[in-house]
Amino acid sequence: MAPSKDLHEANRRSWNEATPAHNSHKGDQARALREGHCTLFPEEQELVGDVRGQSLVHLLCNSGQDTLSFAAKGARVTGVDISDEAIAFARSLSEASGLPGTFVRQDVYDWLAAASAEGTRYDVAFSSYGAMCWLSDLGAWARGLAGVLAPGGRFVVVDFHPLALTLDEQWRLHYPYGGGVHVETAGVTDYVAQAQDALVPWGFKEGVKDFRNPHPDHTFQWGLGEIITALLSAGLRLEALREYPYANGARLFPRMRETEGRRMWPPEELPTIPLMFGLVVIKPA
């Protein structure tokens, strides 16, 4: 399998359309960062650990809010994303917030190949919340990760659980589990409008109304075993695996219950299932 660059390009168009709508709901984000608001949830902070003085690359960084939250914790940060709109916003947010960061607009596969060939190495690589589903080739991705990690460096991902991605809006099994199956949908949605304060704790703004994306998106269904096997096959060592029965900040489905910490749970009448996972792998020294 090779990365599906044509589908990645279609996703770029879909994200370019959705990103301004997302940011329209988040108010003065630079001020929020200056005032000490952190967009990272406890789960990723626990798995990533202390980043003071470390180099960190955030792959599929979106508009850079989490990237700059790591900068506020003392990391030297680089963010990579395919969306022109997201990277332009991240650069302006970095300047306005006073938090330094380097942001690169590039397909993650192209960036990993180039950075690895150039000998660029990082102490930490990070991805989160809707990252794995955009990867069309796990093997190339995992080898690229191994290539940009310094010896002893770690990759951390906190993302929605593959099991959750098999469900439709009625909590019924609908999509296949794993296999790299390609799924086309009606485009990146305005999930920030759906989540409201759960994603904008410093104050949700109404912003863009009734967003409809004219560009379809293309995602890929990967099982947890496939993800871990790809990373191990690239020479990385598994250090931690977590499964969480809630989703942070995201109303993935109707009737989700919100509890303290902006955690979203299934409706009371349904049994708990893993809605997120966390994974840490290490590059042997």
List of domains in the chain: 5-282 (3.40.50.150)
Residue 88 burial by Cβ neighbours in a 10 Å radius (0-12, 13-18, 19+): middle
Residue 2 pLDDT: 79
Residue 3 pLDDT: 85
CA dihedral in degrees (195, 57, 165, 107; nearest 10)? 100
Question: Which residue's entry shows tokens 């349904």?
Answer: 270
Q: How far apart are CA 51 and CA 71, in angstroms?
A: 9
**Other Cβ atoms closer than 10 A to 51:** 19
Residue 285 pLDDT: 92
Residue 103 burial by Cβ neighbours in a 10 Å radius (0-12, 13-18, 19+): buried
Q: 26-63: per-residue pLDDT in tens? A: 999 999 999 999 999 999 999 999 999 999 999 999 99
Ranges under pLDDT 70 in the chain: 1
